[in-house]
Amino acid sequence: MKTVEEQMKIIAKGAKEIVGEEELRNKLTRAIAENRGLTIKLGLDPSAPDIHLGHSVVLRKIRQMQELGHRAVIVIGDFTGRIGDPTGKSKGRAALSEEQVKENARTYTEQIFEIVDKEKTEVVFNSSWLKQLNFEEVIRLAASVTVARILERDDFSDRYKNNIPIGLHEFFYPLMQAYDSVALKADIEIGGTDQTFNILMGRSLQKWMGMEAQAAVFMPILEGLDGVEKMSKSLGNYIGIHEPATVMFKKVMEVPDSLIIRYYELVTDEHPDRVAGLKKELEEGRNPRDVKYELARIITGLYHKEEAEEAEKYYREAFMKKGIPAAIPELVIDLDKDTLGGIIPKLIEEKYVPSGSEFRRLLSQGGISLNGEVLSLEELDSVLVCGDVMKIGKKKFAKIIK
């Protein structure tokens, strides 16, 4: 196993915060001496089974820790999923049915194993221990936390202040997630910063029950292609891990320059020293496009090993050799008007064309292209994707942002 310092460097890469860092060092020291791995816990509420790069942030970190010799336990919250995670919610969330939970869990785990090492991963369902608790044990667990502590959560305190109902059962969600850490004797729990309260509750409950507390590794929320909002399928600013290699490569090339290093840190397995070197090169004037091009090769290669080279070749032919400039004005369009014909009013408003008839004339004469491919009038119903580059006439370009 690698040294404690080398492991800490890899674990800390891209992390927003590590709570219990000194405890983690001690755990690693003992693990190295005993030649064993630590138990890494990741809890998943199986409500959104389609994984994109935003979801991959914690999964890639787990893979990196598995490469260091540790093992992962993925906790599918089939029991807690029937309550629904209230994190960030302004009102109570509808509980999932048992059938929904099972189907989402199946789809989720299939995708998870495209990132984490299946041989070093155990998938468990928290109903297997939460169902066994009797009422006396539940009361004893409830005694470990005060109402004041629960109301420290922003979502609960906001709802309480605004007289929005809070079900008593919702208070049990973070407590049940914390009990998962007790049941697994977790050494490390990893999650997004939106799970801070729930994960720290796990540390508190382990201590309360006389156990060694888990370290908590918090990964930041990844911004999408718009560079501002959280990566989300509903916002259209996402890169899906199952998208075709050519689409993935092109989308990575649409990542804002300001986020290049962040993407290297959060969604690749590149060593921290190499990422630091690339950051220095950018600061010293290296062309961001070149660094991003390498990023696109790395990310596409992670999910499309066989097609990555073809995707790179396609991008060179479709974009780099067709004179598409590096800096392109953004055209923000409505989600409900995302077809070629639907954005004509927006193009007129932004003065790309003087009228709809002029746009159609250009279209009929081969004067409109999308990602280097000439369009025709028959394609007015084509749906535009976030990151598409449209050329209008000889000199006007627009990058589509939804």
Q: Residue 19: which CATH number?
A: 3.40.50.620
Q: 210 and 353 share a domain?
A: no
What burial class does residue 384 get, using C-beta atoms within 10 Å of its C-beta: 0-12 exposed, 13-18 middle, 19+ buried? Answer: buried
33 phi, psi to nearest 5 deg: -65, -35
Over residues 64-105, the pLDDT tens digits come to 999 999 999 999 888 877 666 555 554 444 566 777 777 777
Q: 182 and 306 share a domain?
A: no
Q: 109 and 171 share a domain?
A: yes
Q: 251 and 373 share a domain?
A: no
Over residues 305-360, the pLDDT tens digits come to 999 999 998 888 767 766 666 667 888 888 777 889 999 999 999 889 999 999 99
Q: 259 and 140 share a domain?
A: no
pLDDT at residue 206, as a whole number: 96
pLDDT at residue 216, as a whole number: 97
Q: 300 lies in a domain?
A: yes
Q: 241 and 163 share a domain?
A: no
Amino acid at 350: E
Residue 149 has pLDDT above 80, yes or no: yes
Residue 284 has pLDDT above 50, yes or no: yes
Q: 183 lies in a domain?
A: yes
Using DSSP, state whether 394 is helix, strand or coil.
Answer: coil
Over residues 229-238, the pLDDT tens digits come to 999 887 888 9
pLDDT band at 251 (very low <50, low <70, confident <90, very high): very high
Final residue of a structural domain among 219, 249, 275: 219
Q: 225 lies in a domain?
A: no
Q: 42 and 160 share a domain?
A: yes
CA atoms within 13 A on the CB side of 271: 6
Q: 335 and 317 share a domain?
A: no
CATH number of the domain to which 291 belongs: 1.10.240.10
pLDDT at residue 95, as a whole number: 61
> 272 is in which domain, residue-wise?
233-321
Q: 153 lies in a domain?
A: yes
Q: 180 and 202 share a domain?
A: yes
| DSSP strand pairing (373-374 vs 389-392) | unpaired
Of 117 and 110, the structure prediction assigns the larger pLDDT to 117
Q: 227 lies in a domain?
A: no
Q: 346 and 297 share a domain?
A: no
pLDDT at residue 323, as a whole number: 64
Task: Report pTM.
Answer: 0.77
Note whether 58 and 191 are within 8 A (CB). Answer: yes
Nearest to 23 by CA among 216, 248, 236: 216
Q: 84 and 120 share a domain?
A: yes
Mean pLDDT of the chain: 89
Amino acid at 22: E
Q: 195 lies in a domain?
A: yes
pLDDT at residue 397, as a whole number: 85
Q: 289 lies in a domain?
A: yes
User: Looking at the 3D structure of the chain, how many domains does it have?
Assistant: 3
Write the DSSP symbol of residue 213: P
Note whether 207 and 213 are within 8 A (CB). Answer: yes
pLDDT at residue 90, as a whole number: 47
Final residue of a structural domain among 289, 321, 353: 321
Q: 175 lies in a domain?
A: yes
- Long-range pairs for 138-142: beta carbons < 8 A, 24 or more residues apart: 138/172, 141/175, 141/179, 141/205, 142/172, 142/175
Q: Is 402 annotated as a binding residue?
A: no
Of 203 and 383, the structure prediction assigns the larger pLDDT to 203
pLDDT at residue 136, as a whole number: 95
The CA distances from residue 400 to 116, 298, 356, 387, in Å, are: 33, 24, 18, 5
Final residue of a structural domain among 219, 249, 283: 219
Write the DSSP symbol of residue 321: G
CATH number of the domain to which 367 belongs: 3.10.290.10
Q: 184 and 57 share a domain?
A: yes
Strands annotated E in 11-133: 17-19, 39-44, 71-76, 121-125
